Structure 1
């Protein structure tokens, strides 16, 4: 609570988060997916997949996919183009089929962070 010339102004506590690649302030009461905890858990439990994402081969495949398909394949429209920021596996890499097709371009899709996070965290 702040006082300004006799007026009482109520200030809501805020917290800083990253949403769609941008740092923003939101009320502390807003529920936010805990991506950091999710990533730390993956590092601990799935080191082979983490090493795959760091590999030069994957980085090259990812770069080529984003060059060939620079717009989000989920939400982008001709009237409202949305730049893709990442490449998603259509079949999860933690399945045998997904792992065997992890470098195949026909099993990949260019996505913006918003669409990717919606897809990834709606499975939980």
Structure 2
């Protein structure tokens, strides 16, 4: 197994940090709405206000991953064009690893968020039914 320090270069991509930032904001809101906040009229209104933004943030994650793929491949091709040494294999493998890492990260970050969003929608529907019948 390779040491962690061999993979630190993967964090030198602005897209990785954008994915982290969007995921932290979205997951913070989802955790609050799904598990921490008490379901009442104010909660329902807050979830109503945030629902569109949460969907947009979650939809952004795989798109940011795709952007990271494109930027990683572009970086690889630029390095191949400018690098005249014998380390071509390192240039290619490092750039492709960076490209694939951002794609994987965007996809992995969105799946739990979509599950929590479905749970939130279910919880909202149940609360609304109880509220209307009360």
TM-score tier (shorter): under 0.3
- Relative to its length, the structure with more helix (as a share) is 2
Larger RCO, structures 1/2 (Cα 8 Å, 6+ apart): 2
Greater Rg over alpha carbons, structure: 2
